């Protein structure tokens, strides 16, 4: 099975405050930490996924679940975990 880097992203998430009075509430983006496997990235965004499993005989038959796209402008910190050979 193909391997993907395990990463932790600290980022700011946009949010919707529908239950707050806009005149008396200090609105802020929500800090989030996401850990997942790095699928791909470019200058605009990165794509992570949470789960991967095989449903066939080759890497083109992998299933990825829990996919999230994070815009680069929202990212505050990006950490790649060291590769471990322990089971």
> In this predicted model, which residue has the larger pLDDT, 84 or 29?
29
Tokens for 73, please give them: 């402008």
* Nearby residues of 18 by Cβ (< 8 Å), 6 or more positions away: none
Give the pLDDT of residue 85: 67
Give yes or no for residue 75 having a pLDDT over 70: yes
3-state secondary structure of 23: coil
Q: Cα separation of 79 and 14, whole Å?
A: 21
Domain ranges of the chain: 6-80
Query: Tens digit of pLDDT for each residue in 1-59?
Result: 678 999 999 999 988 777 767 777 777 889 999 999 999 999 999 999 999 888 767 66
pTM exceeds 0.85: no
Give the pLDDT of residue 32: 96
């Amino acid at each position: 099975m193909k391997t993907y880097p395990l990463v932790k992203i600290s980022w700011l998430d946009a949010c919707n405050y529908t239950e707050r009075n806009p005149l008396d509430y200090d609105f802020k983006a929500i800090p989030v930490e996401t850990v997942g496997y790095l699928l791909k990235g470019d200058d605009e965004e990165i794509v992570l996924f949470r789960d991967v499993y095989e449903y066939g005989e080759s890497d083109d038959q992998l299933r990825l679940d829990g996919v999230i796209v994070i815009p680069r402008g929202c990212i505050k910190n990006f950490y790649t975990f060291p590769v471990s050979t322990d089971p």
